[in-house]
Amino acid sequence: RRLVKMSGHLSEYAYGKIKIRVMKLNRQPSGRHEVRELTVNTLLWGDFADSWTTGSNAKIVATETQKNTVYQLARTHDLSSPEEFGKVIASHFLSTYNWITKVQVTLFEDPWGRIHIDNEPHNHAFTKTTTERRYAKVVQSRGAPAKITGGIFNFIVLKSTQSSFVGFVGHKGSVMEKDKWTTLGESTDRIFSTSVESEWEYANDQAPFNECYERVKTAFIRNFSGPPKEGVPSPSAQLTQHLMCLGAIDACKPHITDIKIITPNLHYMPLSSLNVPSHMHATNNDVFFPIDGPSGYITSSASLNRSRL
């Protein structure tokens, strides 16, 4: 088909396969089984602009082929590290097809937890134990080492006290104590909950990825929660978020160079904030109702060696 001449030109192009779901069952000689489940997305760049400009598929590796590749590579990989499996996939496409110039592989892990019976771990029975999802992104250009990003999302945490919000605009102590648009009152003690989303850049493609993931998650929990008995005050969600980032970098240095975090508020409102008579309020302030929105949205980044401010 002859294309009609139009203004403009092709400036960027890539294609791939998404939602490739794969589970690997690793059987140990002891009879113990390990299961790993991933959802994989692939994206390819290369010398195949003709597919867009003329309709030629001569250099197109079919997305069905990309799906088949993931399943075949999983036969010889235990999938225990999304980052390591992503490196294998990226390397395969670059070594097999010499016209491909860059590959991006994004992997999302669906965690399975081992079932315990009478406090004894079961050899081959599992359950979904958590809402969080680990993910990894591997980007590799021809002739260059892979750039690796680790991450976590839907990591939901909550603490029931030691969070306050005072001194903001419209209240005493702020830079503008009178603001006609501010209606929210100050709170010296409130529930603080968020769904953490974070990603971090690794210094190189040989980092201890699994160890770093666990250390990041532990640092997030420690800096959000504080010691088991005493806890830790959160005078602002922003400060808590920043301490979580710094704790993660410190726990994984020198392997993590940069980290970004998003912590939207998950609001639990006291019954007294409902438009109901005062005799229907919870006198001990111990009944709350969750709301889906509107909600606060807070984001920041931290770096090991430099400031981006």
Positions marked catalytic: 17, 63, 267
Q: How far apart are CA 113 and CA 129, in angstroms?
A: 6
| Contacts for 168 with CB less than 8 Å, ≥ 6 apart | 174, 182, 184, 186
Tokens of 229: 């008995």
Q: How far apart are CA 216 and CA 51, in angstroms?
A: 42
Which of 108, 151, 111 is closest to 131 using CA atoms? 111
First to last CA, the chain: 52
